[in-house]
Structure formats: C-alpha cells, structure tokens
Amino acid sequence: MRLAIALMLFAAPAAAQKAGWGDVGKEAEKPWSFTDAIAPGFWMAWTNATAFFFILIFASIALMGLLEIRNPGGAPRDGVFGLRTTRGDRLFISLLGAAYIFLAWLGLMGTPLYGALAICALWAAFVFWKV
C-alpha cells in the first residue's frame, strides 16, 4: 500500500508538468500592442500610438509647406462660417476641432476611440471642403 502511494506521489508532479502546471510562475509572453511603451522605463511614455500621432502632425505641416511652395498664398477663400481662411487656417481649425471631439468622446463614451476618429475625419473633410 505504501509503495502505491509513494509511486502516485512521484508520478503526480510529472503529470502536473505535462498538463501545463509547470508554467504557473512564469510570465506569459505578451503579444505586440499599438499602445505598448517603445522604451520601457524611459522618462516619457512614448508608445507607437503617440509616435504615429506626432509623425502625422509633422507630415501635415510638411505637406502644408510643400503646398505653399507649389502654390503660394495659401489659397484664401470665404467659407460657411464667414471667415477668410487659408490652407494653414483650415488645418489648424480641423486639428483644434479634432482635439475637442476626442475629449468630448472620452468624457461621454470612454474608449475605444474609433468612433471619435471617424467623426474627426468627417470634420476635417468638412473644414477643408467648406470652411
């Protein structure tokens, strides 16, 4: 009887290891996420999302510069708000409106922000088309 109990006690850890219990204390491998820190422990929490945001802003400003070189004057026009705006003004209005849209979405709906992103894209299209 003691021999049977001893054999079961020696076999139990091997069976638990085979069943996956050997990984209980180990840290699981985390999949890549768009919001993971680029440099963990750095003084600023740079993520792929924040890097993408700043790249988009700088690319927009560079595009405005190229358009200004190609067609000087900023193409001023009177829009639906009664303002005389240039391309740079319209970019600023669309970015400022997008910031307010995202803040309102976060305050009222929370995350995820895909709906706010769609509304911001429509806002930017409206501003560049009609303002």
Mind listing the pLDDT tens digit for each residue in 21-46?
666 677 777 788 777 888 888 878 88
- What is the distance between the alpha carbons of residues 41 and 44, in angstroms, rounded to a whole number? 8
pLDDT tens-digit series, residues 94-112: 999 999 999 999 999 988 8
Q: Which residues pair with 77 in a beta bridge?
A: 85
Q: Give rounded-to-5 percent helix, strand, coil for the chain.
A: 65, 5, 35
Q: Which residues pair with 47 in a beta bridge?
A: 37
Secondary structure element (H or E) that encloses residue 84, with its range: strand 84-85
* Residue matched to tokens 């993408």: 52
pTM, entire model:
0.66
